[in-house]
Chain A
């Protein structure tokens, strides 16, 4: 869906940066907690679950916002393979953000673990208790997390490439916006 403004909706920009912070924190917490049997382990684990569920709630909100407000058009001079990469990577990022907490929740359910969010709040299981489901989901949780982090690095590099090298307003459309101005490289619509 295209959007007449050269910028993402301000609400979507806010959720993007909030989620960027949460998702990066989450990925670092995740790999750090599995790396140690020290006192940090239970502390990080206690942070990991409520944070994951917060990300799941935010990605639902964000997807609704994104579908309702659309995205600004990509620069018209962007080569076709890059256009495809941009669109595909964005959908993969959305898919990862939704899949990671869902896999985590499903995996804990299948492992017979209570999904405790703290403060006495426990989520219901979304899969039956079955270790034949738990084992592949546990492996998948790690694999998707590592691919997700790699995708975020590519996304970051591409955003910086737009902002620092092409200077085509794409980075600005997710940061401070254009304040009604048009940058030279930006066309109004496709």
Chain B
């Protein structure tokens, strides 16, 4: 018996409804429906709007220098984590020094983050990637605040300075940003990449071989004694002062740092990178980082690596700090954009090319 038109219409409507429902659910999952989400693109676009758009480069910490070296683990870190890279042994390291900001050719005399990024590789292929700054605290604790900070500190095209009408209410609503600015105004700004202490910024969850978990921050403490730049005359520094200093220093010999793992005390804030841990803490000497060679990004291997601090070996995981997910996503968006744009020349690479041509 041929189906009537009516008998055909009902199942057809049902099929249509099922397909539409699934498509709508997909669109909702993708964020095409519903409220606008903060994704990696939001963060990267805010960075571009703040510091000027510099395609071909990292959207933050654009100015960099590659290096290679090794990490000699003492084995003491195994008390906190089962990570292979904390077992006694020597592991290859690829790294990158950088300065905060999105301009790859900016001068070095700026009160910005001095940063180090590392990739430690274990024989089994596991990696521990890190991206650290020379300050023990970060200006904001979460992603919306980070995006708002970029917007609030965007220079007004007329004055070249942030618009006080936007900045003042933002600072009033974010005392942690004020605390960070006060810290930066008084802290020593290291006069070399080699004599700065570099901090993990966020806390991470370390799990030992018995399954016990602890929240840990870490720092790389330099062998070279700390000395600061003259904050009053930063403008007088040559454009690539810190980078050239590091090239010259490494030609004379390696630089070293001790890795100190700092275990959270009960009551320590572990989900906000804006809060430093005060007072005595259980601290473990996990090993020595030795930097033996530096390379401009053109010839080094660091340029095309995403130093995503959430790429961690087994035994080290993420804490509840929401900044970690945001850093991972923003780094990824920045990486995808610059991969599609192709690389640009580095400041120190230009310097070295000029010297060779001479």
Contact = CB atoms under 8 A, between A and B. Distances in A.
A42 B310 contact: yes
Contacts of B335: 111
Contacts of B23: 153
Contacts of B19: 153, 156-157
Given A41-B328, A111-B306, A131-B304, A36 B37 contact: yes
Contacts of B326: 37-38
Interface string A118-162: 111010100001111011001100000000010001001100110
A165 B3 contact: yes
Given A111-B335, A114-B311, A35 B306 contact: no
B339 A36 contact: no
Contacts of B26: 27-28, 31, 149
A35 B37 contact: yes
Interface residues of B, number: 51
A156 to B, nearest CB: 6
A120 B30 contact: no
B172 interface: no
Interface stretch (B10-18, B177-185, B233-241, B290-298): B10-18
Contacts of B194: none
Nearest to B311: A114
B339 A114 contact: no
Nearest to B142: A38
A164 B14 contact: yes
Contacts of A138: 336, 339-340
Contact of A112 (B37, B304, B314, B320): B304
Nearest to A112: B305
Contacts of B310: 42
B226 interface: no
Contacts of A114: 125-127, 311
A41 B22 contact: no
A159 B15 CA distance: 10
A119 B343 contact: no
B11 A37 contact: no
A43 B47 CA distance: 25
Contacts of A149: 26
B39 A34 contact: yes
A37 B313 CA distance: 22
Contacts of B75: none
Given A31-B29, A134-B339, A138-B339, A41 B329 contact: yes
A173 to B, nearest CB: 18
Contact of B318 (A28, A37, A42, A129): A42
Given A111-B306, A157-B19, A160-B15, A124 B336 contact: no
A148 B23 CA distance: 12
A52 to B, nearest CB: 17
Contacts of A165: 3, 8, 11-12, 15
Given A116-B126, A129-B304, A156-B22, A139 B340 contact: yes
Contacts of B313: 120
Given A34-B39, A36-B329, A135 B340 contact: yes
A38 B306 contact: no
Contacts of B38: 36-38
Contacts of B127: 114
A37 B125 contact: no
Contact of B328 (A42, A111, A135): A42
B30 A35 contact: yes
A168 to B, nearest CB: 12
Interface in A16-48: 27-28, 31-32, 34-42, 45
Contacts of A35: 29-31, 37, 39
B203 to A, nearest CB: 14
Contacts of B320: 39
A94 interface: no
Given A37-B39, A114-B126, A114-B311, A31 B30 contact: yes
A42 B29 contact: no
21 contacts: A28-B25, A34-B39, A35-B29, A35-B30, A35-B39, A36-B39, A37-B37, A37-B39, A42-B324, A45-B328, A113-B311, A114-B311, A116-B311, A119-B314, A120-B84, A122-B125, A135-B336, A157-B18, A157-B19, A164-B14, A165-B8
- Nearest 7 pairs of A and B residues by beta carbon: A35-B31, A122-B125, A31-B30, A164-B11, A37-B329, A120-B314, A135-B339
Interface of A: 27-28, 31-32, 34-42, 45, 111-114, 116, 118-120, 122, 124, 129-132, 134-135, 138-139, 149, 153, 156-157, 160-161, 164-165
